[in-house]
Structure 1
């Protein structure tokens, strides 16, 4: 039996029916349907377009900015609200919600929100554990792979994080998000090596700068990797002269982001860092106020404060008075969402 021409390209399960319209072999039909549904959990490319023209870009929904996920993607408003309240309580509250759902078969948007909720409460291990429970298609998305690398790095598993993020870049090319996280991996390794007086530290610093630069150059609209590159150039000994060329580009990028959409925490934090690096005290105070008012997750101001601290310490080592920068750093460390 052949399907009608207008639906013949679609995958289907054929079965015979009796005079009442019921399957003649219901158990066999149910088994075939169950096998087909199981296979959908780990699909292969079945589009002739993608099979023949491998360079045609797929709809890249996984590249949606992680921080805007909850605002962009539609899913259960009840679950969204429950996860919001759980994030305000504790990791245990988030875990209680996880116990109620089947991670493999649940709405992928709910699973991603659960994943990012663990990030919000800084439970990096639960993030790693959750990925292992996800369906293969969801586990392989760029967003999940990036955030898994983020969590692994926070757990001190720098080698695993580096390997995972490098694979994402090899498969999908550099991006401001992936390279930004990879740059953070190298930056953490540089800081650790510096504390241990390990000569490898200089190499990790250069690798961090290169990763951030590659991310910024892949999309100049995203100033986040650019400002991180400039900050690390400022912390080099002696300061990397390339920062003088890069700073105006980064400053313009963040200016355009602030003007073209509803600004978020990272926009104001980047503007703050630009002002500190440029010694613009009043501008820095203004950006600080907006950044503090826009904090969503507790690790965000901590990350910015650490960058500000690095700038301050680098300049103090060169004999520059930085009391006003220390005040900004202190304000950030006291900030709660």
Structure 2
């Protein structure tokens, strides 16, 4: 079997897609990743050793932008390019993890009669998945869909959980501590907001560095192009654009995390039982899914999670206060539970994708 994989724009889409790819490979499937050239998905796929095919794609901006007028043309170009990839690679099925790059790829797969399986991390479908759900054979959800889900969607829904990175249980936090030069007794604060970072969170963390460094050794993953040269060498503070292999080590090393509330981030934090200060994306730049995610997560993890509204960051003091309250929060992750979370959902999605591919072959 050959399975095409698509999804991108952020690590929250790419990391689960690669977790499913790992499971598909264990079943002997050939793989090809389709995404934008020069993107996070191309970089991650290359690091994973997957063949990569580039197609143009553009997302809908949530503010007024001339780019939105050109977006349909880019999508059409993407569909044409993805159609050529489908004819060249001839996959037996497409697995899509979402984001705008998945739309032209999914449309091209449908035109080529390649069956589609999609996965949604949140309780409600994102825009790309709302478009592709009509074309898909199976729609996988991390949690049971809302009661208001249409009947046609419920008929093709499968609750699988959220695929997590396959290396979640094989970390070397002590090695990372040594590489950074963090003293053995220092508690570690990991601040990260995805591969692109967040200017508001970055500014809030840096505005309160003195107060945060009084409590923690601060490892700040600030996003590409967001390093502050004036802070290089500052005692108790380490800044990097982003982490790849070291990200898993950083999660195990962290005593507290400051981050956004993407579904993948929350699943990893919950599996590892890391106390977290969550700053969900506001509705001005999102559909509000992170606000819902953060509220549900805080309810499930009382005493181990504090939610700070993005608009409340101001000078960063709410982050300091939240970190102070979480200093004594328990962290008791069960390695067996972590391993189960890391592999079970990815394996279930992989099996569903292969089953859809086999059914399509039988129909032919």
Q: When the two structures are superposed, what TM-score results if normalisation uses the length of structure 2? A: 0.30
Identify, as 1 or 2, the structure richer in strand: 2
Structure with more relative contact order (C-alpha pairs < 8 Å, separation 6 or more): 2
Structure label with greater radius of gyration: 1
Identify, as 1 or 2, the structure richer in helix: 1
Q: When the two structures are superposed, what TM-score results if normalisation uses the length of structure 1? A: 0.31
